[in-house]
Amino acid sequence: MVSSAFADRTKLCLFDVDGPLTPARRTASPEMLQTLKDLRKKVVIGFVGGSDLVKITEQLSANGSNPLDDFDYGFAENGLTAYKLGKPLASQSFIKYIGEDRYKPLVNFILHYIADLDIPIKRGTFVEFRAGMINVSPIGRNATVQERNEFEEYDKKHGLRAAFVKVLQEKFSDYNLTFSIGGQISFDVFPKGWDKTYALRHVEDEGFEEIHFFGDKTYKGGNDYEIFSDPRTIGHTVNSPADTIRILKELFLDN
C-alpha cells in the first residue's frame, strides 16, 4: 500500500529535467508546467536531474514559484540532494566519500589536462564542486547558450569529452568513480552507484504500484541509462518536452 502522504495516488512519474521537461539548460514552457499540474492530481511526480538544485530551480520555476512545492519529490545531483513534499531527505557528500587526499590529485590532473587542451574558446569555471559530485567542463560553465551549442557540435566531431573521460578512467581506475556525459559541455564525476538510480532509494519503500521514468539519454553510456533500465522502473525514452507531454496525455491524462 502506498504511504498515506500521497493518499490515493498510487503511481509515481519521475522526470529527467534537460530534454524531457525543458530544452537543455532552458526553462520549462507554460504548457509543460500546466501538464505537470494536471498530472499531479492523478499521480505522484518528481524530477531527477543531474544538475544542482539552484540550476534545476531556475529551469522549473513558474513566475518565481519553487519547484519543491510543485513536485512531490525533488532530486538534484541524481538524488544526492533530495526533497519529499518540500522537506529535505538525507543527502550525500562527494568530498566525504573521496577524501581530501584523493581529491587533490584528481582535480589537479583535471585542471592540467584542461589547461593543455587546444579548443576554439575557453570561458570560466572548469570544475564545479557540488555536494554529491564534481562537474567538469573543458570550455567552462560560464559559456553562453550559443557557445554551449557550438561546443556541443565541436565535441560531436572531435570526441573531446569521451577522450578526456577515457584518460581519467585509466589514470584513476582505483577511485571507484563513474564519469558520465549527460549534458552539452561537461561531464559529471561521482562514486559508482551514485547515478540516477540513487533517487530510487528514497522512494522504494513507499509502495508505489508503478514507477515511470522519462529520460532522453537512455542509451548505454547515457546518464539516464541505469534508472531507465532498472527493474523497479517503467522507462520511457523521449526526445523533447513535446514528446513527454504526448506520452503523459496517452498514459494518464486523456482518460
Stretch that binds ligand M1P, among 38-46, 84-92, 176-184, 236-244 (CB under 6 A): 176-184
Stretch that binds ligand M1P, among 48-56, 63-71, 88-96, 200-208 (CB under 6 A): 48-56
Binding mask 62-101 for ligand M1P (x = CB under 6 A): ----------------------------------------
- HSE-up (13 A, CA, CB side) for residue 234: 10
CA–CA separation, 192 and 23 (whole Å): 28
What's the full length of the chain, in residues? 255
Q: Going by C-beta distance under 8 Å and a sequence separation of 6 or more, which residues neighbour residue 54? A: none
CA–CA separation, 49 and 64 (whole Å): 19
Binding mask 135-174 for ligand M1P (x = CB under 6 A): x---------------------------------------
CA–CA separation, 132 and 91 (whole Å): 8
Q: Going by C-beta distance under 8 Å and a sequence separation of 6 or more, which residues neighbour residue 140? A: 122, 123, 124, 125, 126
- CA-based nearest residue to 47, from 19, 8, 26, 6: 19
Closer residue to ligand M1P (CB): 25 or 249: 25
Contact indicator for 116, 109 with CB cutoff of 8 Å: no
Binding mask 11-30 for ligand M1P (x = CB under 6 A): ------xx-----xx-----
Give me the residues paired with residue 76 across strands.
Answer: 81
**Which listed residue (184, 218, 233, 244) binds ligand M1P by CB under 6 A?**
184
Stretch that binds ligand M1P, among 4-12, 32-40, 47-55, 101-109 (CB under 6 A): 47-55
Q: Residue 94 in 3-state DSSP?
A: helix
With CB atoms as reference, the residue minimizing the distance to ligand M1P is 183
Closer residue to ligand M1P (CB): 11 or 148: 148
Q: Residue 87 in 3-state DSSP?
A: strand
Please report, in range form, the residues annotated as the binding site.
16, 18, 25, 130, 141, 148, 186, 188, 216, 228, 230, 233
Q: Which residues are catalytic?
A: 16, 18
Q: Which residues bind ligand M1P (CB under 6 A)?
A: 17-18, 24-25, 49-51, 55, 135, 182-186, 188, 223
Known binding site for Mg(2+): residues? 16, 18, 216, 228, 230, 233
